[in-house]
Chains A and B, each alone.
Chain A
Amino acid sequence: MQRVGVFVCWCGSNIAATVDVEKVAEVLAKEPGVVFSTNYQYMCSQAGQEMIQESIAKYNLTGVVICSCSPRMHENTFRKTCEKAGLNPYMVEIANIREQCSWIHKDKETATEKAVILGRAAIAKVHLNAPLTSGTSPVKKRALVIGGGIAGIQTALDIADAGFDVDIVEKEPTIGGKMTQIDKTFPTLDCAACILTPKMVDAAQNEKIHIYSYSEVSSVKGFVGNFKVTIKKKARYVDETKCTGCGLCTEKCPQKKVPNAFNLGLDNRRAIYIPFAQAVPKVATIDADYCTMLKSGKCGVCSKVCTAGAIDYTQKDAFIEQEYGAIVVATGFNPIKLDQYDEFAYSQSPDVVTSLEFERLMNAAGPTGGTLLRPSDGQHPHTIVFVQCVGSRCDDSKGKPYCSKICCMYTAKHAMLCREKYPDTDVYVFYIDVRTPGKNFDEFYRRAVEEYGVHYVKGMVGKVVPENGKLKVQASDLIGNQQLHIDADMVVLAAAIEPDKSARPLATMLTASMDTNDFFTEAHPKLRPVESPTAGIFLSGACQGPKDIPETVAQASAAAAKVIGLLNKDHLVCNPCTAQPDELMCNGCSSCEKVCPYGAITYVDKEFRGPNRTTLLRRVAQVNPAVCQGCGACTVACPSGAMDLKGFSNKQIMAEVDAICR
């Protein structure tokens, strides 16, 4: 039995006006275990707190019940008070007699009666309280950024700037991501490469940043502050330390017919390649699917021409283990595959392209050297039709239910650039809505219409039929209430964007939650937008939702700020109200493991003493208190009742129920 002290607060007249505080203190004094009961004007004041501390010493109290305002208001205050007096802070319970009693009732008698019952419930609970201590866990002062696009680069630069080591893991041979493929950026029309490549160089030269290019995360263990990550460095058959990036091998390689992924297959490259001139790291990579030497053992041209002797056909995948305090996910996006949208003839005609392919066709470093030419015959297109929302805002199985957010703006950009460079072209944009929320965005779109004479048509393209070198476009003009038939030279499809395919398996490894579209979910949609609900996992860029470049950079820096805040701490204080299994009752069924949103529960085989001096090996649940957030989902899922939540145990809540229903 605890020795409980009850302290009833008047809160000036806030409580005392409708609750007879003296009577409450008097009645509660008769409750079992209560050795001291009093009331005071302001318990949270200096004098009130001192009174509590003195009483703890004087009456040797082991539990304290304070009848006052909401625990959301002053629970921490009173916990600290009691801690200073030598009492465990978790031996304090608050009965909320202000917000949930005196303020909502007018009749003094009923309010007093209710206050007594609330006080009783708190006393009943405090009898079952146990002293709890917050554990601490150390923080490894190193961060991992998964994905080396603009989001990952920005996050890494910001973390490195604060003095912490950062590793970037990028699955492609170079960092830079999607932004390297973009020609110009809206709404300023500055060249993407000109603003991105200096950042890539900064990242490469920063002493605190280590780039693992052509690598993937293969396993993640541990928890916030203590992640153990295995990084798989894929064999690129070139020694990174020796390769100087001279590019001679990429000119001499006899295998010329490899679709160039960087230009989205619009032209070809060699089997040994550097994705583009400004690649970071500027190191050649052999494409094992096409290299004749690796496939049949007959060639070796690259090894002969390489003066640095960097080519190594025997290279194997390497695995690196590293420890991190925080992980940032920056896996980015991809345009969706358009196979299912055959009405637009994407697979039938090379002149029907996606917007990202169109970027490459406009880019000076692209397959056409910056002159817009039709992929089919290399002629200048004179009529170009842009189709928006291809696969976005779809309620069917083919597309995505969300708005891809960036398409309206890049289509306006493409249309404007076409009209600017080639004023003799007719440009049509078919739109459902034009969505331009953003600084200078709507002005940009209006400029495309008003100054550049782009034909914006409210309607949609129904079908595209390739015929005699032209693309016959049948579309609707809803405002003109007519059906349009346009003979176009090119059709550009604004394909929806989706999270990168690597995100789903990564989320499983990280136990980070995702929505049905495979975007990572944030800890709170408004107030914690760059953190995953899983502690120590942060989100940067389009892996969390469709974003344009400025938003991505803003989120990347925000994620970095959160990571810095975490890495700055030497130890993490854990919430002591965590789940705890009774190992003797646990039957190892895994029910709790399945419902845990944080992956805090693991199973271990443990030895137990059996009858007749035998030892039994049993599978039992274990909770990692550093990861558990104390929601209690597992306690209810446990069929044997082995799992309980400290601070809100079954017995404690039951005691409250009993006290209220008494």
Chain B
Amino acid sequence: MIDTIKRISGVNPRKCMKCGKCTASCPAFERMQFHPHQFVDMVENGRIHELMNSEGIDFCLSCFACVERCPRNVEPAKVIEAVRLAVVRQQGGAHLTPDEIPALLDDELPQQAITAAFRKYRK
């Protein structure tokens, strides 16, 4: 599973020096159960199922602030994206139908996230 995440994201979590600049830059900090630096650390330590089941992984806006500012080129946003993909690729997981969307909408939810979620969970 670790290898899958590494392969999808192309990220080597061992390059992380645990400075926390990603988490310091994250605009979606409050909404996420785990924060960018934790994603990198937990992938390295194999705690991927915890990440997949955690709250708020879809609140990552993919704004890439963490990628832009990481001093070690670790690219945490790509790890988060890879974890989301891992969720999508699960067999027999819950998928979305267009009818379910209106109930899930929330005024603060960015348009980008709705589109992205629909694109991924539609299958």
Contact = CB atoms under 8 A, between A and B. Distances in A.
Contact of B24 (A389, A393, A396, A460): A460
A461 B15 contact: no
Contacts of A478: 18, 20, 23, 37
For A396, A461, A476, A481, the residue with the greatest tally of chain B CB atoms inside 10 Å of its CB is A476
A343 interface: yes
Given A343-B69, A389-B71, A483-B29, A462 B23 contact: yes
Interface string A446-464: 0000000000001111110
A396 B19 contact: no
A462 B24 contact: yes
A88 interface: no
B88 interface: no
A460 B29 contact: no
Contacts of A332: none
A396 B71 contact: yes
Contacts of B100: none
Interface in B38-92: 65, 69-73
A476 B73 contact: no
Given A476-B21, A478-B18, A481-B35, A462 B71 contact: no
Q: Which of A389, A394, A462, A477 has the most CB of B within 10 A?
A: A462
A442 B23 CA distance: 28
Give the one of B17, B25, B70, B72 with max A CB within 10 A: B25
Contact of A461 (B21, B72, B73): B21
A476 B37 contact: yes
A395 interface: yes
A463 B25 contact: yes
Contacts of B29: 483
A194 interface: no
B23 A394 contact: no
A464 to B, nearest CB: 10
Contacts of A432: 17-20
Given A462-B26, A483-B26, A395 B71 contact: yes
A481 B24 CA distance: 11
A101 interface: no
B93 to A, nearest CB: 29
Given A343-B25, A462-B69, A483-B30, 7 more contacts: A399-B71, A460-B19, A462-B26, A463-B24, A474-B24, A483-B23, A483-B35
12 contacts: A343-B25, A393-B17, A393-B72, A394-B72, A395-B15, A459-B23, A460-B19, A463-B24, A476-B35, A478-B18, A481-B35, A483-B23
